[in-house]
A and B are shown apart, each in its own frame.
Chain A
């Protein structure tokens, strides 16, 4: 039977100043998202812009606040697995219901 290692310490993550910096960046990204929503010129490209901004926010929270950047890779693998399945469900359903892909009627 494989020897089980003692759980790693919860300490040793980012510094407090780093947490504040991440929070400021998250606030700025949220303001950018809302600004993009109100700029008519950007409405033709609003979906990719918002997807990039929200993915950046998601990644920052997961990496720094949830400590995935500093934790065991298995935890990132677990989380990524859930996200991949969720994304597959969303895309499959949208394709099935004709929201995206050939014959989209939105």
Chain B
């Protein structure tokens, strides 16, 4: 009997990650609820219509979606024992995640110089908290991917460790689906 098995036939670590993801749904749900509740209620500018950069964020969104493709291909490579491809795709996830974070840093810096800060108005407070927490999750994901890449480079990420990559992948894809919602709710529906 496998000590890590559960009565559902799912590995306990994978089950734990899914429970964590379910709790994260509620966490981000609360942040999105706060953003939407205060939307359009700022007494002073800048407003979303004045400041949000849709072309830049569209590219960032595409980059994050493609990082999910790289993640699932990395998992496939680890499961089949293709170490070279695993390193390539894990590296791609790190680069694409880094590009997304770079775009967010540029956006935050630009907004700051345009006068939008955490204290400026309700839009600034809710926007920075929501997207900032998402960015923090992406940062954790990138660090996690770097550790997996280092493990792979040291020859310690064979098919027997594929669950490590699968669990990390679930986290990464969740961060991606949260951005799908944020991109629509914050950037496109103004």
The docked-state distance in angstroms from the alpha carbon of A14 to that of B163 is 17
Instruction: Kindly name the residue among A27, A62, A90, A96 whose own CB sees the greatest number of chain B CB atoms within 10 A.
Output: A90
Q: Which of B7, B18, B174, B189 contacts A5 (CB 8 A)?
A: B7
Task: Identify which of A23, A30, A97 contacts B58 (C-beta below 8 A).
Answer: A30
- CB closest chain-A residue, reference B174: A66
A23 to B43, CA, bound (A): 41
Q: Across the interface, do B9 and A46 meet the contact criterion of CB distance under 8 Å?
A: no
Q: Is the CB–CB distance between B173 and A65 below 8 Å?
A: yes
Partner of B33, one of A6, A33, A37, A89: A89
Residues A50 and B176 in contact, CB atoms below 8 Å apart? no
Interface 1/0 per residue, B1-33 and A, CB below 8 Å = 110111111110011001101111110111011
Contacts of B75 on A, CB cut-off 8 Å?
10
Contact B37 A97 (CB under 8 A): yes
User: For residue A54, which residues in chain B have a CB less than 8 angstroms away from its CB?
Assistant: 180-181, 183-184
CB distance from B79 to the nearest CB of A (A): 5
Contact A4 B54 (CB under 8 A): no
B131 at the interface (CB under 8 A from A): no
Specify which chain B residues have a CB less than 8 angstroms from the CB of A6 in the assembled complex: 1-2, 5, 9
A49-68 contacts to B (CB < 8 Å): 50-51, 53-54, 57-58, 61-62, 64-66
Looking at A34, A87, A106, which has the most chain B CB atoms within 10 Å of its CB?
A: A34
What separation, in Å, do the CA atoms of A4 and B12 have in the docked complex?
11
A22 neighbours in B (Cβ, 8 Å): 69
Confirm or deny: B107 has a beta carbon within 8 angstroms of a beta carbon on chain A.
Answer: no
CB-defined contacts of B51 to chain A, threshold 8 Å:
none
CB <8 Å contact, A61 and B40: no
Which A residues lie within 8 Å of B38 (CB)? 97
With A27-B62, A54-B184, A83-B25 known as contacts, the answer to whether A106 contacts B8 (CB < 8 A) is no
Interface residues of B (CB under 8 A from A): 1-2, 4-11, 14-15, 18-19, 21-26, 28-30, 32-34, 36-40, 54, 58, 61-62, 65-66, 68-69, 71-73, 75-76, 79, 162-163, 166, 169-170, 173-174, 176-177, 180-181, 183-184, 188-189
Partner-B contacts on A (CB < 8 A): 2-8, 10-11, 13, 16, 19-20, 22-23, 26-27, 30, 33-34, 36-37, 46-47, 50-51, 53-54, 57-58, 61-62, 64-66, 71-72, 74-75, 78-79, 81-83, 85-87, 89-90, 92-94, 96-97, 99, 106
A selection of 12 A-B contacts at a CB cut-off of 8 Å is: A7-B4, A7-B9, A19-B69, A19-B76, A27-B62, A27-B65, A50-B188, A65-B176, A75-B14, A82-B22, A94-B36, A99-B40
